[in-house]
Amino acid sequence: MATQTERRTDIGPPHYSQFLHPIIKENYGKWKYHETLKPGVLMHVGETGTIYSVRAASARLITISFVRFMAGLADKYADGYLRFTSRNNIEFLLANKDNIEPLIKELADNGIPVGGTNNAISNVVHTQGWVHCHSSATDASGLVKVIMDDLFEYFGSMKLPNKLRIAVACCLNMCGAVHCSDIAVLGVHRTLPRIDHSTLGNLCEIPTTVASCPNNAIKPTTIEGKTTVKVDEDKCMYCGNCYTVCPAMPLADPLNDGISIWVGGKISNARTEPMFTKLAIPYIPNNPPRWPEVTSAIRNIVEIYVKNAKPYERVGEWINRIGWAKFFDLTGIEFTKYHIDDFRHAGTTYKRSVQNRY
Amino acid sequence: MATQTERRTDIGPPHYSQFLHPIIKENYGKWKYHETLKPGVLMHVGETGTIYSVRAASARLITISFVRFMAGLADKYADGYLRFTSRNNIEFLLANKDNIEPLIKELADNGIPVGGTNNAISNVVHTQGWVHCHSSATDASGLVKVIMDDLFEYFGSMKLPNKLRIAVACCLNMCGAVHCSDIAVLGVHRTLPRIDHSTLGNLCEIPTTVASCPNNAIKPTTIEGKTTVKVDEDKCMYCGNCYTVCPAMPLADPLNDGISIWVGGKISNARTEPMFTKLAIPYIPNNPPRWPEVTSAIRNIVEIYVKNAKPYERVGEWINRIGWAKFFDLTGIEFTKYHIDDFRHAGTTYKRSVQNRY
Amino acid sequence: MSDDLKIPLLDELEKGPWPSFVKDLKTLAPKKPMVRDLLRQLEKSYQDKRGYWKHGGLVGVLGYGGGVIGRYSALPDEFPGVSHFHTIRVHQPSGWFYTSEALNELMDIWDAHGSGLLNMHGSTGDLVFLGTVTDELEPTFRDLTARDWDLGGSGSDLRTPSCCVGPARCENACYDTLELVDNLAHRFQDELHRPMFNYKFKIKAAGCPNDCVAAIARSDFGIIGIWKDNIQVDQAAVAEYVDSGFNVKEFVVDNCPTGCMSLEGKELKIDDSNCVKCMHCINLMSKALSVGKERGAALVMGAKAPIVEGALLGSVIIPFMEIEEPFEEMHDLLERIFEFWDEYGKARERIGECIERIGLASFLEQIELEPLPQMVTQPRDNPYIFYEEYYEEE
Amino acid sequence: MSDDLKIPLLDELEKGPWPSFVKDLKTLAPKKPMVRDLLRQLEKSYQDKRGYWKHGGLVGVLGYGGGVIGRYSALPDEFPGVSHFHTIRVHQPSGWFYTSEALNELMDIWDAHGSGLLNMHGSTGDLVFLGTVTDELEPTFRDLTARDWDLGGSGSDLRTPSCCVGPARCENACYDTLELVDNLAHRFQDELHRPMFNYKFKIKAAGCPNDCVAAIARSDFGIIGIWKDNIQVDQAAVAEYVDSGFNVKEFVVDNCPTGCMSLEGKELKIDDSNCVKCMHCINLMSKALSVGKERGAALVMGAKAPIVEGALLGSVIIPFMEIEEPFEEMHDLLERIFEFWDEYGKARERIGECIERIGLASFLEQIELEPLPQMVTQPRDNPYIFYEEYYEEE
Ligand code: SRM
Ligand code: SRM
Ligand code: SRM
Ligand code: SRM
Ligand code: SF4
Ligand code: SF4
Ligand code: SF4
Ligand code: SF4
Ligand code: SF4
Ligand code: SF4
Ligand code: SF4
Ligand code: SF4
């Protein structure tokens, strides 16, 4: 048994170099160009060699069996080398071009699609949801599954105007990249924290709890002799930050929790500067297991985007070109008071010119 | 003598129609197009007639003699009809084309230039300054005089890329259109209000005074038994709003009052949306009577604009195209910490992309 | 008298080609001690680099709360001529149109009662009579009203509305700016003369998006002409522009903000559904293009200078409204706005600041207007939504 | 055992072509009671439309403050398998590169000590082991470190830095993202494992402005590759693109944000002084265009999700910096930043919020960087200037 003195700490991650395919090592920093041979298959040409990447989907919430299976495929086709992408896909790194099709076939036989490159919908960046987080207003893994089932054709093809990045986050903490995605699905609470006055004073620091509220809705108070807090109904916008610091203020409300849909964000600097995602649909009730209203709302937006955008326009770029009025018009989504910002810099979104379309 | 019962009130302004030239009356709302015949001379063609406008400069701060002289010219050349523009020029409205040149000549003989149309620098929108206002950090009429003396060639010609609108305001109240001008000159105080503790309590309402500060720098206090206020040195940015509501807090400081220069604002919706003016030069000391540092700073900007802008680009449009870094580079103006916003929405001006020029 | 007028610094401002206020004022100085002392006090300001005016006091004419700005010299002993030096704001006629006769009458009044100095016009639009004493206020007012002139606004009231030259001399005017502004001024006389608002309220009316009266930058309530249908194109005239050597492609087409124009040969095509009515093409090709036929105005609210919360441009509260006599819809709207402001506004808070504080959506709700995407540059990007409808347990 | 796993709602998620986590988890359920109960509790969540997790508790491994997220079921009696269900964040290798061997070893460890469920990877970048009990934390840690793996960050510490694939497989990489991130992770081990910041601090490194790791949106400190000189153009390859029928004019030239490109015949001209390094042209013509030779990175700070003050994108604090081993300049800079934050930050205030509160100019002053116009989209438009230098009476 390891004794205390043997205990290793602060060693940091293993150096990546030991995991690099020899061709990658040789051509490290010396790549000349790449080509996308077909959806999900990239060819990177370096000074002294070529590496083929086959990008396979993953549910991200996976098991050791799944990983072992993938490792096995890597051994069989990729000299044992693979990596994961920033969007949770798996990339097999092949030296041998001839291995591409057999690998794809074996993946397909096991229900794993290949794709996500170029003008495709890639994997959905997402979060824990009901699977592991106490904050969630919805599930994440389930939503991703039904959304990608529905949009499946766009993962394995490259027929979109440009990349389309979807993200899901199960509460306003937005652990997914919801605030900068082409289309984002965000779990929302919509009712006041249910304060447990009997335990709050013990569980939570009152000043921290009061300070946590972005809108100063929380005030200290005393109820039946107990120190606790109260929430100003008119000021609370259900963000859940109080709950993050104080377990006695849960927001979960099966009847009113649900989903909002956001559009037009991006991260890359290509053509236009990075943009935040903007509100499209303020609320859709949770309807598990397959959330049909959510998938059809997203499909509607995707299809109208595909039909109307110019080549290489991201969703936000397309909307900026046609104007938001037209976006609401084309998608049939209702514009409501909720769409008009009312937080800190709300005024900067008011239309301060008369340049408009009619 | 008028008795109380005869006293007329609330009659409002006289109806404009009685002041309209007959040709204007006939073609009211029926104008077809206009042409600029030469700098300062417009021809408007209506359905049943043509009116010629000759635009003459004015100091705006004028005398009854000047007005009577202009009225005389109107009688002589314009059937007695004239108007003033939104930038304080005088427009003689002529039915007879042949009167244009004689009018211009008589104006010139009396030191009054004609111009300001199309791609010109028109009259300077400005304010009271030392001539009439208690708030002023500089004079306005004098500044306008020396600026327009210096830029005179651009009033009587139309060789700029587009209109160039200059405004002068003598304090942060900005009674001139300083916040949306191609180039703006703004009088600034730069030191703390000098509180007159002996009178403040009598002259000013403390709560109003405290509330007036945009940055919460003012706090009530008691000094030698008197109710008064104190100003937090670190929070005061010398805006003068406290002085507006409380005479016991003057800001005038001959040593430190002076001038700041702003660029790139516009009002029209033409091509681009209206824009605020942005800081170019944080401070130039007051140097009356001819403020040479101010006039040369403005000339520098104007000349570089003329040289670099594309046809029809306003100053702000030109800068947006080339980028602010280039603007500072070309003009040789120093970029300082003062240029980085630190008020309410400062964050919205931080560069949130890596799209930059090097 | 005038030989003791030693103003060497100001004399420097007689030089140069631009009209000199010093030269002009000097002509009046011998006749008017006020002007003489004004120049002397100004000379001292130029020497000392500071103003010498006291903080204004409350003066006015009977029954009016606005229209006069009190002004006193800080050095009345040194410059007795300007010990009182009040301003009278005279309500200009729509579009700043005058006849020589009217001007001469006005000058006679001002000669009789004041310094003889004036601004044509003040930044808000008034005819500003600069410099008189308290005792002359009422007589001046009497003479003015006798000749059908009234005072403009000042203080926390409706300020003197102003407008661009509009249909009187401009082919771009999308509605009658002059009549509207004259109408509003008369309809809201009480609000104009008797300050009862939280703060000033300015109205400016521009006939088209060129906004020659700065409505979007300098008015709490701006009316900016606009059209809904297509730009009217005279293709023959387009061809003439092309033939004349004017570079329609580079100067016009390439500068269209939405890229909705194209030049095919000598024919100009416009995809009007994408035109944002910016005016650029019409401005450059006055003879060939004109504003559409379905005309009206966009209403923008809340513009102001920086004090207190930072400068604001007006923001759209109605993207399109027909502007027709007797302007009742506009009267109703303004009344709803004044009511709202009365209820929700704070003292010395401009309505634009109030709207920002309350939120545009709430403001619209209060004044009974529908939210529309044309009122924002983009929907919210933060998820802090005040949901108001929710399900209750059955 | 597994026949009593009644999860009809979740079964619906086995349908459809996208990989099903339910299908995957079900394969493990017979062996792992934790997985079985996880599915059962999740089924209940799907029925009731709410989560059943308690607010996390403080658990961890000896001497570390971060790397483990405590998690307990709210219904431990009903679902005992998940009464404890903690997460272990394992620090991934730069670029998420693995060998099958390494993965199999990791899986063996996780099989031995936990549920066998995991995320590859978490949103921050960690290899996330989902579900174990408190008693297994230390043994898991021991086995991990024995195989050279360490924990990632959590809580108010330096979070696990991550980077794009960079020079390992991308021709656009302007610096060595993998080495930098590995270096920073090792250099700041203490900050990573022992929370002593005001709040979390995330580092992300992207090799070029495409930002494939979302540095500008999801990191407090983002390093985004960029070049200073000219785009490298292979005109022969350009001609091939043209010949291939690819519409260089429409797709590339017309989409350049500054319009600094033009196609003359088959030759591509770039006015690099106006190029803002957006990557679009290089992206579309990988064979003909590549990033310049004078490479480095732009540093952006302050990105974060909305809580508390609203979401932020990173903002430029250094427009261009050379990124070379041993990365000392970067270490120094980070230390100055941590010092600043320590002094000026508030608890639970992200550094981006802190910079906004303090002001970018003051922040720059504190961390000893020069203000540059590249750090703003525009200079201030409000006149509320805190002048610091002034003249004093002599
Ligand atoms: C593998 C990966 C990096 C990694 O370290 O894991 C990667 C790899 C490449 N990216 Fe990326 N990007 C990857 C995530 C991203 C992200 C981050 C994200 O999605 O969260 C972005 C920012 C997205 C955004 O803007 O919202 C991203 C924005 C781009 C762009 C810019 C696209 C645009 O026009 O806006 C390009 C350029 C392009 O595709 O032509 C690009 C291009 C590329 C290239 C072509 C670079 C190269 O020459 O090798 C790589 C293959 C692209 C492809 O998939 O078509 N990559 N790329 C990531 C794959 C994720 C996945 O599994 O789908
Ligand atoms: C007379 C006046 C209106 C009035 O009621 O007094 C007026 C009259 C005209 N304006 Fe104006 N504008 C007048 C102030 C303005 C203002 C307000 C201001 O400067 O404070 C603006 C907004 C300025 C800004 O954007 O900062 C203004 C922005 C325009 C524009 C837009 C220019 C642009 O491209 O941004 C045009 C279009 C043009 O010139 O082609 C225009 C066009 C015109 C036309 C051509 C309209 C017409 O068809 O008759 C008129 C003659 C223009 C000229 O001077 O070249 N007018 N014009 C004002 C003359 C002021 C002066 O004495 O110089
Ligand atoms: C006379 C005039 C300047 C001029 O030379 O033309 C003027 C003069 C004064 N303005 Fe003004 N403002 C004048 C147009 C403006 C404008 C421009 C406009 O109306 O288009 C503005 C900017 C637009 C706006 O309304 O925001 C303007 C923004 C201010 C402010 C700042 C208000 C704000 O909310 O930011 C103040 C301070 C205040 O109201 O207490 C102010 C206050 C003042 C006072 C009353 C000084 C004070 O602190 O009480 C000045 C009196 C000077 C004097 O003794 O003659 N003045 N003031 C203008 C009115 C003449 C007229 O009636 O036609
Ligand atoms: C596991 C993970 C989601 C996932 O499924 O991948 C996650 C899970 C949690 N996040 Fe997160 N965050 C995760 C990446 C993120 C990201 C994305 C990123 O890092 O790129 C963000 C947005 C970017 C950012 O940092 O702003 C994010 C923004 C938050 C926030 C809001 C922070 C803010 O300043 O706005 C909180 C709330 C908090 O810190 O108290 C939070 C808090 C949480 C907590 C600890 C819940 C809480 O209230 O204490 C979640 C634990 C869930 C659980 O039990 O497993 N998480 N969190 C991600 C970390 C895995 C990893 O280490 O790789
Ligand atoms: S987004 Fe919210 S609910 Fe989802 S994992 Fe993050 S903190 Fe938990
Ligand atoms: S949910 Fe958000 S807004 Fe409501 S009280 Fe809690 S912290 Fe405040
Ligand atoms: S800008 Fe200031 S100093 Fe000038 S007139 Fe207006 S209030 Fe007076
Ligand atoms: S000058 Fe302005 S910032 Fe300074 S105390 Fe007065 S109101 Fe406040
Ligand atoms: S605003 Fe429009 S209508 Fe009015 S004068 Fe200017 S161009 Fe003509
Ligand atoms: S008005 Fe402006 S937007 Fe409309 S077509 Fe002309 S230039 Fe384009
Ligand atoms: S960010 Fe740039 S360098 Fe990194 S993978 Fe993406 S394209 Fe390549
Ligand atoms: S990188 Fe972007 S800005 Fe530079 S030339 Fe290419 S498309 Fe234009």
Q: How does pLDDT run across B262-312, given as a tens digit for each residue?
A: 999 999 999 999 999 999 999 999 999 999 999 999 999 999 999 999 999
The beta strand positions in chain B, using DSSP E, are: 31-38, 41-46, 50-56, 61-63, 81-84, 90-94, 166-169, 183-188, 218-223, 226-231, 258-263, 278-285
pLDDT at C58: 86
pLDDT at B4: 52
CATH 3.30.70.3340 domain range(s) in chain A: 17-109
**CB < 8 Å to B57, chain C:** 18-19
- Pocket flag, ligand 4, residue A174 (CB < 6 Å): yes
> Rounded to the nearest whole angstrom, what is the distance from the C-alpha of residue B173 to the centroid of ligand 3?
7
Contacts of residue A297, defined as CB under 8 A and 6 or more positions apart, other chains included, come to A261, A281, A284
Name the architecture of domain A197-245: 2-Layer Sandwich (3.30)
- Pocket flag, ligand 9, residue C207 (CB < 6 Å): yes
- Pocket flag, ligand 6, residue A238 (CB < 6 Å): yes
- Beta-carbon separation of D116 and A272 below 8 A: no
Partner residue opposite A340 with nearest CB, options C274, C319, C380: C380
Partner residue opposite D46 with nearest CB, options A127, A255, A289: A289
Structure tokens given for C367:
């004044």
pLDDT at C3: 55
- DSSP 3-state percent helix, strand, coil across chain A (nearest 5): 35, 20, 45
Say if CB C72 and CB C79 are below 8 A apart: no
Say if CB A141 and CB A183 are below 8 A apart: no
Partner residue opposite B145 with nearest CB, options C13, C116, C123: C13
In angstroms and rounded to an integer, the radius of gyration of the C-alpha atoms of chain A is 24
Task: Please state whether the peptide bond connecting residue C121 to the residue before it is cis, i.e. omega within 30 degrees of 0.
Answer: yes
Structure tokens given for C325:
């006599």
- Pocket flag, ligand 9, residue C176 (CB < 6 Å): no
Q: How many CB pairs below 8 Å do chains C and D form together?
A: 14
- Pocket flag, ligand 7, residue B88 (CB < 6 Å): no
- The Cα-based distances of A32 to A284, D125, D174, D208 in angstroms read 47, 28, 13, 15
CA atoms within 13 A on the CB side of C232: 13
**CB < 8 Å to A260, chain C:** 383, 385
pLDDT at B189 over 90: yes
Residue carrying structure tokens 């008298």? C1
CATH 3.30.413.10 domain range(s) in chain A: 125-190+254-339
pLDDT digits (tens, 9 = 90+) for A128-182: 999 999 999 999 999 999 999 999 999 999 999 999 999 999 999 999 879 999 9
The beta strand positions in chain D, using DSSP E, are: 68-69, 87-90, 97-99, 117-120, 127-130, 162-163, 203-206, 221-227, 232-233, 261-264, 267-270, 289-290, 295-301, 315-321
Instruction: Give the confidence band of D56 by pLDDT, cuts at 50, 70, 90.
Output: confident
pTM of the model: 0.97
CATH 3.30.70.20 domain range(s) in chain A: 197-245
> Rounded to the nearest whole angstrom, what is the distance from the C-alpha of residue A213 to the centroid of ligand 6?
5
- Beta-carbon separation of C167 and B28 below 8 A: yes
User: In a mutational test of the pocket of ligand 1, which residue from D212, D246, D286 has the highest number of ligand atoms less than 8 Å from its CB?
Assistant: D212
- The Cα-based distances of B162 to A74, C255, D107, D238 in angstroms read 65, 13, 69, 38
What value does the mean pLDDT of chain C take? 97
- The Cα-based distances of B205 to B202, B245, D264 in angstroms read 8, 9, 71
pLDDT at B177: 78
pLDDT digits (tens, 9 = 90+) for D266-323: 999 999 999 999 999 999 999 999 999 999 999 999 999 999 899 999 999 999 999 9
**CB < 8 Å to A354, chain B:** 269
Closest Cα of chain C to A306: distance in Å?
19
- Three-state secondary structure call for residue A81: strand
**CB < 8 Å to B354, chain D:** 209, 211, 216, 224, 226, 277, 298, 300, 316, 319
C-alpha B172/C-alpha B239 separation (Å) is 6
What residue spans define the domains of chain D? 8-146, 162-227+296-375, 232-290
Contacts of residue B192, defined as CB under 8 A and 6 or more positions apart, other chains included, come to B231, B233, B236, B238, B251
- Beta-carbon separation of B348 and A352 below 8 A: no
C-alpha A238/C-alpha A173 separation (Å) is 12
Instruction: Give the confidence band of D393 by pLDDT, cuts at 50, 70, 90.
Output: confident
pLDDT at B3 over 70: no
| Nearest alpha carbon to residue D261 among D239, D287, D292, D233 | D233
pLDDT at B345 over 70: yes
Test mutation, B131, B235, B291, chain C, max C CBs within 10 A: B131
- Pocket flag, ligand 2, residue B42 (CB < 6 Å): yes
- Pocket flag, ligand 7, residue B170 (CB < 6 Å): yes
Backbone angles phi, psi at C390, to 5 degrees: -150, 165
pLDDT digits (tens, 9 = 90+) for C284-333: 999 999 999 999 999 999 999 999 899 999 999 999 999 999 999 999 99
Q: Where are the alpha helices (DSSP H) in chain C?
A: 8-11, 21-28, 33-48, 100-113, 134-146, 177-187, 189-193, 215-218, 235-243, 280-284, 328-344, 351-358, 360-366
> Rounded to the nearest whole angstrom, what is the distance from the C-alpha of residue C56 to the centroid of ligand 8?
19
C-alpha B331/C-alpha D323 separation (Å) is 32
Contact with chain A for residue B357, Cβ under 8 A: no
Closest Cα of chain C to B115: distance in Å?
12
CATH of B17-109, one of 3.40.50.920, 2.40.40.20, 3.30.70.3340, 3.10.580.10: 3.30.70.3340
CA-nearest residue to C149 within chain B is B13
Closest Cα of chain D to B50: distance in Å?
43
What class does CATH assign to C162-227+296-375? Answer: alpha beta
pLDDT digits (tens, 9 = 90+) for B14-32: 999 999 999 999 999 999 9
- Pocket flag, ligand 4, residue D307 (CB < 6 Å): yes
Contact with chain D for residue C378, Cβ under 8 A: no
Contacts of residue C266, defined as CB under 8 A and 6 or more positions apart, other chains included, come to C235, C238, C239, C242, C243
Q: Which residues of B136-150 are buried (b: 16+ CB within 10 A; e: fewer)?
A: bbbbbbbbbbbbbbb
Which bound ligand lies closest to the C-alpha atom of A138?
A: 5
pLDDT digits (tens, 9 = 90+) for B135-165: 999 999 999 999 999 999 999 999 999 999 9
CATH of D232-290, one of 3.30.70.270, 3.50.50.60, 3.30.70.20, 3.60.110.10: 3.30.70.20
**Which residues, numbered 288 to 307 in chain C, qualify as contacts with chain D under a Cβ-Cβ cut-off of 8 Å?**
306
| Nearest alpha carbon to residue B88 among B125, B127, B140, B129 | B125
Chain centroid to CA A15: how far? 28
- Three-state secondary structure call for residue C223: strand
Name the architecture of domain D8-146: 2-Layer Sandwich (3.30)
> Rounded to the nearest whole angstrom, what is the distance from the C-alpha of residue A126 to the centroid of ligand 5?
9
Q: How many CB atoms lie within 10 A of CB C43?
A: 21
Contact with chain C for residue B48, Cβ under 8 A: no
pLDDT at D2: 44
10 Å CB burial of residue C132 (0-12, 13-18, 19+) is buried
- Pocket flag, ligand 1, residue D164 (CB < 6 Å): yes
CA-nearest residue to D256 within chain B is B355
Closest Cα of chain A to B179: distance in Å?
14
Partners of B45 in the β-ladder: B33, B50
pLDDT digits (tens, 9 = 90+) for C30-88: 999 999 999 999 999 999 999 999 987 889 999 999 999 999 999 999 999 999 999 99
- Three-state secondary structure call for residue C5: coil
Name the architecture of domain A125-190+254-339: 2-Layer Sandwich (3.30)
Nearest CA to ligand 6 atom 7: A213
Partners of A35 in the β-ladder: A43
Closest Cα of chain D to A18: distance in Å?
8
Low-confidence ranges of chain C (pLDDT < 50): 1-2
Say if CB B201 and CB B228 are below 8 A apart: yes
* Atom from ligand 4 closest to the CA of residue D87: 55
CA-nearest residue to B265 within chain D is D381
**Three-point CA angle D181, D187, D192, nearest 5°:** 85
**CB < 8 Å to B343, chain C:** 310
CA-nearest residue to C259 within chain D is D254
Q: Which residues of A152-164 are buried (b: 16+ CB within 10 A; e: fewer)?
A: bebbbbbebbbbb
Fold agreement between D162-227+296-375 and D232-290: no
Give the full edge-to-edge strand order of the sheet including B90-94. B31-38, B41-46, B50-56, B90-94, B81-84, C97-99
Say if CB B157 and CB B198 are below 8 A apart: no
pLDDT at B176 over 90: no
- Three-state secondary structure call for residue B187: strand
Nearest CA to ligand 5 atom 6: A175
Complete DSSP assignment for A143-154: HHHHHHHHTGGG
> Rounded to the nearest whole angstrom, what is the distance from the C-alpha of residue A246 to the centroid of ligand 6?
11
